[in-house]
Structure 1
Amino acid sequence: MSNTDPVHLRRVDPSQNMRRFYSLSIQPTLFGGASLVRDWGRIGTRGQSMIETFDTGFEADDAMMRLERTKRRRGYRDSAGSSGVRPE
């Protein structure tokens, strides 16, 4: 199973009135697989959620890293409360 810590990102740009968050986490399923849970929206709201299920934790880890890389390219940064450091 995966040991990936949850990722909490935010993108704040006052000039565009933009205050967004994006969270990624991996949860085990009852059948031995893994689910990638995504939450996103405007900071201060509940936002939206999506759950993607994978057969293995490695597939979920790969999808999570791919999404995190994409969001960081679009200007999302670590939230103030998270260190952004992942254990090896």
Structure 2
Amino acid sequence: MRRPPAEPRQLPLFTESASLVRIRPALKEWRYYRMEVWPDLFGRALLMRQWGRIGTEGHRRLDPHPDPGAALNALARILRAKLGRGYEDRKAG
């Protein structure tokens, strides 16, 4: 019996979150870096950034932006910088 076709889903053009790791045992380094774009109550957006040693709460920072597009641009800029510094996408492995 054939299934009905699934509803089409719109995929986001720009990533709204990122989860990165940098693991270098020779340097005793096990680090993570997470980012997410959160809407606020006033139509603006927050870029949540969390980083630290894997297994810890780490540090958290909320950066306000005037709109979601600005927050997504900031996320993309930071993501490029982190990938250039040796971080890898957690979802890729």
Q: Same fold (TM over 0.5)?
A: yes
Residue 55 of structure 2 corresponds to residue 40 of structure 1: no
In structure 1, C-alpha distance between the alignment counterparts of 2:68 and 2:62, rounded to whole Å: 14
Runs (4+) of structure 1 moved beyond 6 Å?
none
- Highest CA radius of gyration, 1 or 2? 2
Q: Is the CA contact 1:4–1:26 (under 8 Å) kept in the aligned structure 2?
A: no
Please, what TM-score do these two structures have when normalized by structure 1? 0.86
Q: Is the CA contact 2:50–2:60 (under 8 Å) kept in the aligned structure 1?
A: yes
| Structure 1 residues not aligned, in runs of 5+ | none
Deviation sequence 1:19-66 (CA, Å, 0-9, x none)? 000001000010000000000000010000000011111110110000
Please, what TM-score do these two structures have when normalized by structure 2? 0.81
Q: What SS is found at the alignment partner of 2:76?
A: helix
RMSD: 1.7
Residue 65 of structure 2 corresponds to residue 75 of structure 1: no
| Structure 2 residues not aligned, in runs of 5+ | 1-12
In structure 2, C-alpha distance between the alignment counterparts of 1:83 and 1:74, rounded to whole Å: 17
